[in-house]
Copies of this chain bind each other. A is one copy, B any other.
């Protein structure tokens, strides 16, 4: 059963030509309502479905989107933030009839090819890029290639970019901490990147706007998803003669590392010293007490990326190339306590 039934089989069964079958199944005008219904009925009765390869070969449209979430330093799939973005991207792409497959640069028994070559080989209609070293020449090549592309959290000249609003996010987070009475706020930031830069400058600027001075020793370099560094930095901060009352971290992972240090020192997070994360991954928001964090709207990020990409594919002329930024939302949690 289910041995492939082709348009040829249907055309035989219906006594029409194979061209007519194609037209009927694709709802082209060039056909009478009567035969169209008959063909459709018989086709579904025979369990027909099209052959993606043949269709793609003929139309050079694969209805397949490539995603580039590389996993060297930061493994895409196992990185909560990007996993959530991808999950959302996947859902909306699939709802529009697109499948998604991963881009890689493995060879098929041959020498490694580039990302762009892989994309052209598979005939992806479009590509989304995230969680990547954007300065990798192979990534550059892909972006300069002639296929529709949207990037996430990084902007390239003349390409659509979906950006999480790190400026506003950090501003909201700092503002929240200040509203809780904190004025001695430390920041363990992530390793250098454009995202880090945005957050860092927003941190300084917001503090300044409230007339808060940030001592140099309050700003330490940690790293994303690095609990150990966060642990060490936290210890260091709390041993200061004038320790901060509130500590910000590059992400929720790191914040959990910081909380470890706080517990280790016999203190209670949110009571003796406040901490806040960034990202709003599920585990952080469901801890006890829940972590105060800035929840990045991964759902919207992924959805917009898919929508824009598909729009770019369908109507390259009329979709405007722009960077859209999506706001996160402060998640109060319980680890930033009221003071004074």
Binding site for B on A (CB under 8 A): 2, 4, 49-54, 56-57, 62-64, 71, 75-78, 80, 83-84, 86-87, 90-91, 94-95, 97, 99-102, 104, 106-109, 113, 116-117, 120-123, 145-146, 225, 227-228, 231, 253, 256-257, 259-261, 263-264, 268, 282-283, 286-289
Contact B86–A99 (Cβ < 8 Å): no
Find out whether the CB atom of B121 lies under 8 angstroms from the CB atom of A102: no
**Are A257's CB and B288's CB within 8 A?**
yes
In the complex, A94 Cα to B112 Cα: how many Å?
11
Chain B residue nearest to A110 in the complex (CB): B97
Report if A253-B283 is in contact (Cβ < 8 Å); known contacts: A83-B78, A108-B97, A231-B288: yes
Q: Is the CB of A107 within 8 A of B97?
A: yes
Given contacts A106-B94, A120-B49, contact A77 B78 (CB under 8 A): no
Q: A106 to chain B: which residues have CB within 8 Å? A: 94-95, 97
Bound state CA distance, A53 and B64, in angstroms? 12
Known: A54-B57, A99-B122, A100-B101. 9 other contacts (CB 8 A): A2-B146, A50-B121, A52-B123, A77-B84, A77-B87, A78-B84, A80-B80, A97-B109, A283-B283
Q: Give min CB distance, A121 to chain B, whole Å.
A: 5
Q: Which residues of B contact A263 (CB under 8 A)?
A: 263, 268, 288
Contacts of A289 on B, CB cut-off 8 Å?
260, 264
Whole-angstrom distance between the alpha carbons of A44 and B196 in the complex? 41
Q: Are A90 and B107 in contact (CB under 8 A)?
A: no
Tell me whether A260 and B288 are in contact (CB under 8 A).
Answer: yes
Complex copy number for this chain: 2
- The answer to whether A2 and B257 touch across the interface, beta carbons within 8 angstroms, is no
Task: Tell me how far the C-beta of A219 lies from the nearest C-beta in chain B, rounded to whole angstroms.
Answer: 22
7 interchain residue pairs of minimum CB distance: A260-B288, A101-B101, A97-B108, A53-B56, A227-B286, A53-B57, A77-B87
A27 shortest CB reach to chain B, Å? 9
Please give, as numbers and ranges, the residues of chain B lying within 8 Å of A282 by CB-CB distance: 78, 225, 253
Q: Of the candidates B49, B52, B109, B145, which one forms a contact with A113 in the assembled complex, judged by CB atoms under 8 Å apart?
A: B49
Minimum C-beta distance from A125 to chain B (A): 12
Tell which of B80, B225, B260 touches A287, judged by Cβ atoms closer than 8 Å. B260
Residue with the highest number of chain B CB atoms closer than 10 Å, among A56, A63, A84, A253: A56
Closest CB in chain B relative to A36 CB, distance in Å = 14
Q: Which residues of B contact A286 (CB under 8 A)?
A: 227-228, 253, 257
Interchain nearest-CB distance for A114 vs B (Å) = 10
| Complex: A84 Cα to B264 Cα, angstroms | 30
Bound state CA distance, A12 and B207, in angstroms?
68
Residues of B within 8 A of A87 (CB): 71, 75-78
Return 27 A-B CB contacts under 8 Å, by A number.
Answer: A49-B117, A49-B120, A52-B122, A53-B54, A53-B123, A57-B57, A75-B87, A77-B86, A77-B87, A78-B282, A90-B102, A97-B108, A99-B101, A101-B101, A101-B102, A225-B282, A227-B287, A227-B288, A253-B282, A256-B283, A257-B287, A257-B288, A259-B288, A260-B288, A263-B263, A263-B288, A283-B283
